[in-house]
Amino acid sequence: MRNAECGAGNQEHRTPSLLSIPQSAVRIQMVRLQKFLAEAGVASRRAGEQIIVAGRVEVNGKTVVEFGTRVDPDHDRVAVDGKPVQTKRKLYVALNKPPCWVCSRKDEFERPTIFELLPREWGHLHSVGRLDYNSEGLIFLTNDGQFSLHLTHPRYGVHKKYVVTVEGRVAAEVLGQFTRGLVYQGDKLKAEKARLVSASQAQSVVEVELAQGKYHEVRRLFESQQLTVKRLQRVQIGKIKLGELPIGKWRTLTEPEIKSLMC
């Protein structure tokens, strides 16, 4: 069902300025020299090792030939064959996705994309997972592949919480079915938690928590019980809550928040 708010999805949003972005947006850590070279696009890690052994790499003016050397991407000066090398710093952004915006960088139907809500200088970021077209709420963007993997791969089991408004009254036995797990369209679906927030004959509001998040899993849980979703909002990922972040706006994650997500 198309979200009733989608008609407002094309409203203009002002792109924020990069001025005054806190340094906590960037995760500073020591990395192996060959990894630094790979992330800078100089060479693969294996080829980077060969470059190091050949004595072609300098760190702060001194030639380095050991594989285990670690560098601080923000402060150490790295050069290959005398030419300075720089790598992009890691960036972590939380965005309150509006309904009827897509998470792809480009859309064949020319619908607005969440990347239009970010500064142009952040074109190298990618979304951590997706929220479908009609859904809204918390989504992260980053240029850190390990961060994305940790939050999206099932083996890490990072919990995500949703608030769902559906047509009609949701019975308690339905929520029990969600947490026990069910098979729908040949796929096993399961919620870690499901709680009825409010209910009337017209509509119900349900809080659902997932540990992995398969394709459209929340919507399919309700669909399996012939319940129509009117609104779906993601309100929490790990320990990070959407809070009062305005719709269509972003903020950078703090260092403690980043660490809590990687635990």
Summarize the confidence of residues 218-242 as an average pLDDT. Answer: 98
Band of pLDDT at residue 1, cut at 50, 70 and 90: very low
Tell me which residue of 177, 188, 235 sits closest to 215, measured CA to CA.
188
Task: Tell me the pLDDT of the chain averaged across its residues.
Answer: 88
Summarize the confidence of residues 147-173 as an average pLDDT. Answer: 95
* Neighbour-count burial for 177-208, b at 16+ CB within 10 Å, e otherwise: bbeeebeeeeeebbbeebeeeebeeebbbbbb
Ordered structural domains, the chain, with CATH: 31-85 (3.10.290.10), 90-154+242-263 (3.30.70.580), 159-237 (3.30.2350.10)
Band of pLDDT at residue 97, cut at 50, 70 and 90: very high
Active-site annotation holds for 76: no
pLDDT at 205 over 60: yes
pLDDT value, residue 4:
47
- Is 24 or 115 the better-scoring residue by pLDDT? 115
Band of pLDDT at residue 18, cut at 50, 70 and 90: very low
Is the CB of residue 214 less than 8 Å from the CB of residue 221? no
Q: 3-class SS at 127?
A: strand
Span 46-63, pLDDT tens digits: 888 999 999 999 999 999
pLDDT value, residue 146:
85
CA distance linking residue 246 with residue 125, whole number of Å: 21
Cα→Cα distances 124→26, 28, 91, 108, 137, Å: 14, 18, 10, 20, 22
Structure tokens at 242: 């959407």
Is the CB of residue 151 less than 8 Å from the CB of residue 237? yes
CA distance linking residue 80 with residue 70, whole number of Å: 15
Structure tokens at 239: 């320990």
pLDDT value, residue 47:
87
Q: What is the pTM assigned to this prediction?
A: 0.74
Q: Which of 72, 76, 81, 132 is catalytic?
A: 132
Q: Among 155-164, 189-198, 208-217, 219-228, which is the least confidently predicted range?
A: 208-217
Task: Report the length, in residues, of the chain.
Answer: 263
